[in-house]
Amino acid sequence: MAWQLTSDVEEFAAVTGEFLRSAPVRHTVFLTLVDTLRSRGPHAYGPEDPFFGWWTTPGAAIRGVLLQTPPHPVLFSELPADAVPAAVTALADRPIAGVNMLAGDIPRFAGDRPYVAGMRTRLHRLGALTPPEPAPPGVARPATAADRDLLVDWFAGFDAFIGNRGPGIDTIEYSRVTLWTDDGVPVAMAVRSRPQAGMVRILTVWTPPELRRRGYAGGATAAATRAALDEGASEVVLYTDLANPTSNALYHRLGYRPVEDRAMVEFR
């Protein structure tokens, strides 16, 4: 059993594709990151080269994967117990500032190294879509290139709010941004990924602070979810910040149900 590492996204996609597609809900981020890196190039998320890895059993079956797009933390899938300390060894010569993995794996990966706890997130998958009641005022529409300046501002606002660099409008097709409009004016957005193995993820939901508490985010998310279902998605997923009870409650009302919890940590 061992980790194999590569900097070649095409090799990673070829070797791990079947494993990733076997559980598209749990592997949602890997699938969408690989899709973006293959379509937009290795520096879609930053100037440094990404790297990838997979954990194989003696019979050559893949049981776990990792991926980093610097400067973001190393992302791990669910792992067998022995793959966690082995990952520490495999990555020993790399400057790993942080990781994003299942919450229960953090202590075994960190060992005695001090770290600062970061965001804790929860993956949700859609059960049955339940549009918000009462419906917020307004209607949904797809974004277009004419909305670019607004979207640049909103993506920047979202990045500042979460303290991290999100996907960015330059990695998203305008048609995959659902705008909620009130009296013709955009008031919220929900962004979805391209379909991968029948799965679509709601990537970003944003309402400017001055427009919140009017139900716009619920309207935008429900409309983006419906658009994903209409284009044939068999699974629609999203992540929430566990420190934000408002968004967690909203997505539960819309029909999303918990799958797994993840944690991010930064090493000192």
Helix/strand/coil for 245: helix
Residue with tokens 């379909």: 195
Residue 264 burial (C-beta neighbours within 10 Å; 0-12, 13-18, 19+): buried
Mean pLDDT score of the chain = 95
Q: How far apart are CA 214 and CA 36, in angstroms?
A: 33
Note the pLDDT of residue 106. Answer: 95
Q: How far apart are CA 87 and CA 2, in angstroms?
A: 9
Angle at the Cα of 5 from the Cα atoms of 2 and 8, rounded to 5 degrees: 150
Predicted TM-score of the model (pTM): 0.93
Q: How far apart are CA 251 and CA 249, in angstroms?
A: 6
Q: What is the pLDDT of residues 49-82, one digit of tens each?
A: 999 999 999 888 999 999 999 989 999 999 999 9
Q: How far apart are CA 26 and CA 199, in angstroms?
A: 10
In the chain, where are the structural domains located? 2-113, 125-261
CATH number for domain 125-261, candidates 3.40.50.720, 3.30.499.10, 1.20.1050.10, 3.40.630.30: 3.40.630.30
DSSP state of 25: T
Residue 115 burial (C-beta neighbours within 10 Å; 0-12, 13-18, 19+): middle
What would the DSSP string read from start to end of 74-140? EEE----TTHHHHHHHHTTTS---EEEEEGGGHHHHHTT--EEEEEEEEEEEESS----SSPPSSEE
Encoding tokens for residue 33?
Answer: 């990151």
What would the DSSP string read from start to end of 176-224? GEEEEEETTEEEEEEEEPPPBTTEEEEEEEE--GGG-SSSHHHHHHHHH
Q: What percent of the chain has pLDDT over 70?
A: 99
Name the pLDDT band for 161 (thresholds 50, 70, 90): confident
Q: Quick check: 241 pLDDT over 70?
A: yes
Average the pLDDT over 122-140 and give the result: 97
Average the pLDDT over 11-15 and give the result: 98
